[in-house]
Amino acid sequence: MQDKIYLQSRSRLQDYEPIVGRSCLEELRVLAGELSGKIIQIINSTFVGGGVAEILEHMVPLLNQLGVDARWDVINGSEEFFEVTKRFHNALHGKKEKISPEDFALFSEVSERNLEEMRFYGDYFFIHDPQPVALIAKKKEIGRKWLWRCHIDVSSPDKKVWKFLRDFVADYDAAVFSAPNFAQKLPIRQFLITPSIDPLSDKNKELDSGTIDAVLKKYGLTSDKPMIVQISRFDRLKDPLGVIEAFEMVRKSIDCQLVLAGGTAADDPESGEVLEEVRRRAEGNPDIHVFLVPPESDIEINALQRAATIIIQKSLKEGFGLTISEALWKAKPVVASAVGGIPLQIKNKLTGLLCYTVEGAAYALKQLLSNPEYANWLGQNGKEHVKQNFLITGHLKDYLLMFLALDQPSDVVYL
């Protein structure tokens, strides 16, 4: 079992008031009051790295500040286990993966071990992603409410893997997905809850120009020409090679530079290999900059996003794509693939530009680089869209409502 980390919120709930307004916080307090005396046990696979851990790191302390007794635990797993779950992850995204009966057996074996070793004390169990999904076996013994939160794009999953996981998911009380097209045929209730960004986190807070310049200097970048930036984990599903291809098309007619920056996650053993591929592909092109950024570099990521002229996210598959919300929050024009939860964040031609192909991405980039006023208008709309729909306060509200909805079958609930 990984050591439990004790989170101390860097932001106080009232710090969000100037951004979201007093009434929003008042509503959250009312909802939290309805869960008084209940324990929410949140379980995932890692405390560090990746979007899920990042959200929980901010979410759990804020729930605690609201008076909700939310506690975060992680399962234990070997390197082999996480290699298997990474392949599950890719397969759920629709990628062809070789998954043997031994892999399923390993998954079940590690899940059994976690079932024996873990302490289950919640009134609500909030299980994130496929790695700990099999913990539902405990429900037969202890009952209570169980929710499965899927952060993955399961719109066209590998049937074999989904069938294996579905048997676990069907035993939950409800499942939560990040986009409408991720919904599955399940005998349980399914909620749509989008992830969120924390506007006060290091990754999203306002930065002064001195900090931005210092980061650019550190990475050997200059702001003398437009900068296209993709911030993503080095993962084939983020299509970094496609981004380079689109950039090269743009570069033929517009002088600009490309920055590909990202990190790795503890539960993603493949990213080192992808990083090497990207570096080889970028070799010899002085306008393409590839940076491996360690997990604790949030200020640097923030600075790179703020220094960007355009932010691109050309994912082939995407859970939700929080980097889009991060970019929009900084009022940046964004070009992104219409996959996963991205269309929820980008309403084409209103809050950004959607693309489907490398050529489409190149065309959109050229449009924005040539029309800075239009790019700025999209960026401003995008910021407002994130403010209304994808901030952590809205996410907290959705989670609180979801727990309350489990006990309320009605479509209209009076609190």
Partner 1 sequence: MFDWLTQSWLWLTQNWLHIVVPLLVFLATYVVGLWVRRIAYRAFNRWAATDKWEGSQLIIQTTRTPFIHWFLILGAIIAIHVSNLNASAEALADKVLASLFVFSLIWVVVSLSTKILKLYIGKVKRLQPSEALLVNIVRITIAVVGALILLDVWGAPTTPIILLLAAVILIAALAFRDVLANLFSGFQLAQGEQIKVGDFIKLESGESGYVTDVTWRNTQIRGLDGNLVLVPNSRLLQSTVINYGRPLRKATKPFRFYTHLHLKELTGLKASNLTELVKVLKEVPDPVIYYHTHNFLEEHHYLTPEPANDFALWVSDELGDEVLGEKLASIDTFDFPTIGALRARIEGVIRDYLSKKPDGRTAHEGREFHFIKSISFILPTPYIAHDLREFVEVLRQVSLNSLSYHIFEARLRLKKGVNDFSIWIEDCLGDKDLADRLAYLDPYNYTLESLRSTIIQLIEKRIK
Residues 265-286, buried b or exposed e (16+ Cβ, 10 A)? bbbbebbeebbeebeebbeeee
Least separation, in Å, of the C-beta of 282 and partner 1? 30
Q: Which is nearer to partner 1, 70 or 344 (CB)?
A: 344
Site string for partner 1, 344-373 (x = CB under 8 A): ---xx-x-----------------------
d(CA 354, CA 357): 10
| Binding flag, residue 183, partner 1 (CB under 8 A) | yes
Q: Which is nearer to partner 1, 98 or 185 (CB)?
A: 185
| Binding flag, residue 24, partner 1 (CB under 8 A) | yes
| Binding flag, residue 177, partner 1 (CB under 8 A) | yes
Output the CA torsion 106→236→167→124 (10° steps): 90
Q: Which stretch binds partner 1 (CB under 8 A): 65-73, 127-135, 213-221, 378-386?
A: 378-386
Q: Which stretch binds partner 1 (CB under 8 A): 35-43, 111-119, 222-230, 340-348?
A: 340-348
Residues in the chain: 415
| Binding flag, residue 190, partner 1 (CB under 8 A) | yes
Which residues have a Cβ under 8 Å from the Cβ of 397 and sit 6 or more positions away?
24, 27, 28, 31
Return the H-helix or E-strand segment holding 182: none
| Binding flag, residue 281, partner 1 (CB under 8 A) | no
Q: Which is nearer to partner 1, 64 or 184 (CB)?
A: 184
d(CA 313, CA 51): 15
| Binding flag, residue 19, partner 1 (CB under 8 A) | no
Q: Which is nearer to partner 1, 263 or 352 (CB)?
A: 352
Contact assessment for residue 19 and residue 387, using Cβ atoms and an 8 Å cutoff = yes
Output the CA torsion 393→394→399→402 (10° steps): 150
| Binding flag, residue 415, partner 1 (CB under 8 A) | yes
Closest of 201, 202, 171 to residue 188, by C-alpha = 171
Structure token pair of residue 404: 């309350």
CB atoms within 10 A of CB 376: 14
Q: Which stretch binds partner 1 (CB under 8 A): 162-170, 185-193, 198-206, 209-217?
A: 185-193
Binding test (CB under 8 A) with partner 1, winner from 7, 31, 365, 396:
31
Contact assessment for residue 97 and residue 90, using Cβ atoms and an 8 Å cutoff = yes
Contacts to partner 1 from residues 192-211, by CB under 8 A: 192-193
Binding test (CB under 8 A) with partner 1, winner from 310, 381, 382, 395:
381
- State the number of binding residues for partner 1 (CB under 8 A): 45
Contact assessment for residue 371 and residue 365, using Cβ atoms and an 8 Å cutoff = no
Q: Which is nearer to partner 1, 180 or 272 (CB)?
A: 180
| Binding flag, residue 170, partner 1 (CB under 8 A) | no
Q: How far is CA 294 from the centre of its chain?
A: 17
Binding test (CB under 8 A) with partner 1, winner from 11, 64, 184, 285:
184
| Binding flag, residue 69, partner 1 (CB under 8 A) | no
Beta bridge partners of 125: 41, 146
Q: Which stretch binds partner 1 (CB under 8 A): 3-11, 157-165, 324-332, 402-410?
A: 402-410
Closest of 333, 326, 331 to residue 392, by C-alpha = 326
Binding test (CB under 8 A) with partner 1, winner from 47, 104, 120, 191:
191
Least separation, in Å, of the C-beta of 147 and partner 1? 13
Contacts to partner 1 from residues 118-157, by CB under 8 A: 155-156
Contact assessment for residue 313 and residue 233, using Cβ atoms and an 8 Å cutoff = no
Binding test (CB under 8 A) with partner 1, winner from 186, 292, 299, 331:
186
| Binding flag, residue 254, partner 1 (CB under 8 A) | no
d(CA 81, CA 88): 10
Least separation, in Å, of the C-beta of 21 and partner 1? 7
| Binding flag, residue 98, partner 1 (CB under 8 A) | no
Identify each DSSP E strand in 17-167 by its residue range: 39-44, 69-74, 124-128, 145-149
Beta bridge partners of 124: 40, 145
Contact assessment for residue 384 and residue 350, using Cβ atoms and an 8 Å cutoff = no
Tell me which residues touch partner 1 (CB under 8 A). 21, 23-24, 26-27, 30-31, 155-156, 177, 180-181, 183-186, 189-193, 338-339, 343, 347-348, 350, 381, 384-385, 388-389, 397-398, 401-402, 404-405, 408, 410-415
